[in-house]
Amino acid sequence: MGYTVAVIGATGNVGREILQTLAERKFPADKVIALASEKSIGQDVSYGEDDILKVQDLNKFDFHGVDIVLSSPGAKVSAVHVPRAAAAGAMVIDNTSQFRMDPDVPLIVPEVNPEALAGYRKRGIIANPNGATILMAVALKPLHDRYKIRRVVVSTYQSVSGAGKEAMDELFTQTRAIFVNDPIAKSVFPKQIAFNVIPHIDAFMEDGSTREEWKMTVETKKILDPKIKVAATCVRVPTFIGHALSINIETEEPISAEEARIVLRAAPGVSVVDQQTGDGYVTPVEIAGENPVFVSRIRDDITVENGLSFWCVADNLRKGAALNAVQIAELLVRDYMVE
């Protein structure tokens, strides 16, 4: 017997990727239900290569009888429907920011803190971290275990797909407009995104940081270690898929690039591609549709006593969102849910 699984936000970038990932990984589901807002009712969405699902109305859906819900509709929608699904008895994995910092909701990256998943029983809700946080945590975990990280300085290069389909459309439309000399229209981003970079993701906070930068800081502490200091600068770049991070760490124990390569190569979910040649590192173009977190440009930072710098890239729709959520569901089924 398999499980009944519902996907909230099934017509969005992440929702579609969740459906694809469930099928690819042969998740034990007897029934998969696609849910979205009223405007999407009746639309077809793909589940694997052969199956088509009809989108149902999230507002009217009764979650009784659903075992697992994977939710990625936006925080405001999750705030309404995730508790409703949990109250009906479903285990909910939410990809939005709504519940991440709730002390009764575990924030999970399976390669990093799978033991924290036991906390799901308090509310029946598990939070999927911010995409850039997931990528960084996967890369930091083995280094923290070995060398004890004290401080992280990270700059992100985040693709427009992290802001949704409308953001991808805006990049495409602006790029085309530049080539045909049409006016540049802005609606999703505060500045032109085509041929530009924008150091502004999510709202500004009182201290001058953005909420995206705040998320990376507090989520890393919750997932990995509350003692780690994190300074983040988050930047939107004109790529469609794939987040990249430039990471610098300071550790308590002596660290070297040579040793770090060995540690990272042995880490789950990490793929090291690190040679000093033109094709010896990874960029977002090459990793669309791939599952690992790729690490390149590993080098000593000689400006501090125990320092290391490296480059980190992954598909933000997969490991940065859908894959991580499905991996959490797999852990739930394996370790906590008994048929």
Q: Which residues are annotated as a binding site for phosphate?
A: 100
Contact present, 242 and 287 (Cβ < 8 Å): yes
3 state SS of 187:
coil
- Determine the Cα–Cα distance for residues 145 and 272; give it in Å rounded to an integer: 18
Binding-site residues from annotation for NADP(+): 11-14, 39-40, 161-162, 316
In sequence order, what are the residues at sequence separation of 6 or more whose Cβ sits closer than 8 angstroms to the Cβ of residue 173? Answer: 185
Residues at the annotated binding site?
11-14, 39-40, 100, 158, 161-162, 236, 316
> Could you tell me where the beta strands, DSSP code E, fall in the chain?
3-8, 29-36, 44-47, 51-54, 56-57, 68-71, 91-94, 125-127, 149-158, 229-236, 243-251, 270-272, 293-300, 307-314
Q: Which of 81, 144, 200, 243 is catalytic?
A: 243
Burial of 83 (0-12, 13-18, 19+ CB in 10 A): middle
Angle, CA of 111, 99 and 138, to the nearest 5°: 20
Q: Which residues are annotated as a binding site for substrate?
A: 158, 236
Contact between 337 and 331 (Cβ < 8 Å): no
R_g over Cα of the chain: 20
**Angular region, 257: left φ>0, alpha ψ -120 to 50, beta rest:** alpha
Catalytic site includes residue 144:
no
- Indicate which residues carry an active-site annotation: 243
